[in-house]
Amino acid sequence: MAPLLEVRNLMTYFFPSGGLVKAIRGLEFTIDRGETLALVGESGCGKSMTALSLLRLVPDPGRIVEGEIVFNGEELRRMPEAEMRRIRGNQISMIFQEPMTSLNPVLRIGEQIAEVLRLHKGLDPKAAMEAAADLLRQVGIPAAEQRVREYPHQLSGGMRQRVVIAMALACDPKLLIADEPTTALDVTIQAQIMDLLKNLKDKRRMAMLLITHDLGVVAESADRVAIMNAGLIMEYAPVKTIFGDPRHPYTRGLLGCIPRLGEKRKRLAPIGGGAAAGAELPPGTTYLDTCPEPFAPRQNKLPPLVETEPGHFVRRWNV
């Protein structure tokens, strides 16, 4: 069976005045129906820009310059904008990092959820509001009939995140993109939100692209993991393989930063390389330039993503 989402050689560049930033430099990955793929990397590596590229929401002065995004058999890059609006929020939904910026502060909670249902499902105002209250109940918000009449500032951070999840799930999407869904929440609420997402995903049989830098969340929630740095995937494998048999130096570096109970260390081992951003940086300043053979560039060419064993891809040269 063909994957639900297939991304091939995706490149997203920004063209600020007098410069060039290669935010995404050739991503390739797939997501199967019902599975969770975690996209992991440090801040600035291009994770959120990957999500915006999939939805064709790249802000100016950026644009997708190359690649294919095949979703449910349709090539999204070639799709007219009117058709793309049919996909966004309907078949592909997204949870953004900060719920307070995702919600309109001057509209009641119920009106914001109902708007999605009227737009994509054609419900009348009364039916849309009833469905909005039902969605709030599904995401664990008590007194839903009262909450639909409240404004975002009247809710806690965890409650606002549940509202954003309800909006994302309103149209029963095939793919949910969750961009750092537990940012700025305390640890207890983080665990509740991740459990909620997992239960809703399993119940609705939807796929999820989980964008995070939290390897603990990855270990608990993901089926496969793509490790990203400077707009490139460095390693890509099932979650147990990534944690049990990492092959790329960058993956090993990330895992080496995790403190472990009962293990005494003199100091944390740093990850080499410079800035994560994919700008036109001088030679020797990116992480790949600091890698040993066979992971380092050759003659200004990047190593390809090679399948070293079934389902396990590593950015390296074949030797």
Residues 75-120 have pLDDT tens digits of 999 999 999 998 998 999 999 877 777 899 999 999 999 999 998 8
Please work out, in degrees rounded to the nearest 5, the angle formed at the alpha carbon of residue 277 by the alpha carbons of 273 and 279. Answer: 105
Rounded Cα–Cα distance for residues 309 and 97 (Å): 34
CB 288 within 8 A of CB 296: yes
CB 85 within 8 A of CB 92: no
Beta-bridge partners for 64: 12
Instruction: Read off the tokens for 73.
Output: 């058999």
Statement: residue 311 has pLDDT above 60: yes
Q: What share of the chain is helix, strand, coil (3-state, %, to 5)?
A: 35, 25, 40
Number of neighbours of residue 276 by Cβ within 10 angstroms: 17
Q: Which pLDDT score is estimated for 266?
A: 62
Q: Which pLDDT score is estimated for 284?
A: 46
Q: At what angle do helices 109-121 and 157-169 cross, to 10 degrees?
A: 10
Q: Which pLDDT score is estimated for 132?
A: 95
Q: Which pLDDT score is estimated for 272?
A: 62
User: What amino acid is encoded at 312 in this protein?
Assistant: H
Q: Which pLDDT score is estimated for 97?
A: 77
pLDDT digits (tens, 9 = 90+) for 224-252: 999 999 899 999 999 999 999 999 999 99
The percent of residues in the chain predicted with pLDDT above 70, rounded, is 91
Statement: residue 160 has pLDDT above 80: yes
SS3 letters for 264-309? Answer: CCCCCCCCCCCCCCCECCCCCCCHHHHCCCCCCCECCECCCEEEEE
Statement: residue 263 has pLDDT above 50: yes
**What residue ranges in 152-231 does DSSP mark as E strands?**
175-179, 207-212, 224-229
Tell me the CB-side half-sphere exposure of residue 243, using CA atoms within 13 A: 13
Which is higher by pLDDT, 8 or 42? 8
Which is higher by pLDDT, 39 or 275? 39
Rounded Cα–Cα distance for residues 289 and 229 (Å): 12
**What residue ranges in 213-270 does DSSP mark as E strands?**
224-229, 232-238
Statement: residue 276 has pLDDT above 60: no
Work out the burial of residue 81: count CB atoms within 10 Å of its CB; fewer than 13 is exposed, 13-18 middle, 19 or more buried: exposed
> What's 108's DSSP letter?
-
Residues 6+ apart with CB under 8 A from 72: 4, 5, 91, 174
Rounded Cα–Cα distance for residues 201 and 298 (Å): 42
Q: Quickly tell me which residue has 């849309």 as its tokens.
A: 128
pTM of the model: 0.91
148-185: burial string, b at 16+ Cβ within 10 Å, e else: beeebeebeebbbbbbbbbbbbbbebbbbbbbbbbbeb
Instruction: Read off the tokens for 145.
Output: 């009939």
CB 125 within 8 A of CB 113: no
Rounded Cα–Cα distance for residues 272 and 305 (Å): 21
